[in-house]
Amino acid sequence: MEKITKPVSGYSMILLIIVLFIFALISSSHLALIVISVLSAATFPGFFIVEPNKSMVLLLFGEYKGSVKANGFYWVIPFMTKKKISLRVRNFENKPVKVNDKIGNPVMIGTIVVWQVEDTFKATFDVNDYENFVHLQSDAAIRKMAGLYPYDNFEAEEAEITLRSGVEEVNHSLEQEISERLHHAGIKVIEARISHLAYSSEIASAMLQRQQATAIVAARQKIVEGAVGMVEMALADLKLKEIVDFDNEKKAVMVSNLMVVLCSDKSASPVLNVGTLHQ
């Protein structure tokens, strides 16, 4: 468990050494001067500086003595081992990795993770290399998260959340999964989000064609629905205003012609009829 400590001020120790030197000079004792010089030299390894957003973990013969997080100039007994750990916010971008979504489609996912060390004791002693631990566990979390959602709802129509459309939900799930994994290393996850999402190269072309076909079908469906409404409106207006009285056969021909004109993706080429309606 992390223990915050505040060692002796380095300035106080330097002042004490200066006072002892002055005392030795005043006493004119060569022995005292030599002893103080040796002791002063021995104290130098005990001085250290903690910069802003940095910390120092202190060990005495293998025993954890505490962590210094307040920035300043300090001194501890020279036998203490000191290990510096950064508390600054750091981020890294995972290169896109190939994973399988919920229905087995191979997709490429890249992520950005923003993190910082929160517990220096866990980061130092509970894992071997906390920076490497962050990278490996983030990669594992991505693979697990990707298996919970389909890429889109073309094949999983019942899916409410997908990797492509449920951005907020997916990012929250990813952040939670990484946080749970990195908690054991004393790491706080500030943000985790997907930075790259695409089908894997071997199926990207086929999926693109499928999406295009789906879009065309949806557009055609809207066109047909609109055309049927327009034909109904035209027939109703002609009947209401008694402009032309169609029998069922002529009505079917007119409906067919209107549907061809309205649903065609090319401009109509009209044919001029110079005879009668029955020719």
Greater confidence (73 vs 167) lies with: 73
CA distance 85 to 95: 26
Nearest to 258 by CA among 215, 222, 208, 223: 223
Least confident residue range of 28-37, 71-80, 133-142:
28-37
Buried b (16+ CB within 10 A) or exposed e, 240-255: eeeeeeeeeeebeebb
Cβ–Cβ under 8 Å, residues 161 and 170 = yes
Q: Spell out the SS3 assignment of 103-121.
A: CCCEEEEEEEEEEEECCHH
| Residue 188, H or E segment | strand 187-199
| Residue 193, H or E segment | strand 187-199
Domains of the chain and CATH, by start: 8-85 (no CATH), 90-199 (3.30.479.30), 212-263 (no CATH)
CA distances from residue 269 to 18, 182, 223, 266 in whole angstroms, order as listed: 105, 68, 19, 9
pLDDT in tens, 189-248: 999 998 888 877 665 566 666 666 666 666 667 777 777 777 777 777 766 776 666 666
Q: Which of 15-19, 179-183, 265-269 has the highest mean pLDDT?
A: 179-183
Q: How many CA atoms lie within 13 A of 106 on its CB side?
A: 10
Sign of torsion over alpha carbons 19, 23, 26, 29: negative
The answer to whether residue 251 scores a pLDDT higher than 90 is no
- How many CB atoms are located within 10 Å of the residue 164 CB? 17
Q: What percent of the chain has pLDDT over 70?
A: 77
Helix spans in the chain (H): 10-27, 30-43, 120-125, 130-146, 167-182, 201-240, 248-263
pLDDT in tens, 58-108: 999 989 999 999 999 999 998 899 999 999 999 888 888 888 888 778 888
The tokens 């005043």 sit on which residue?
26
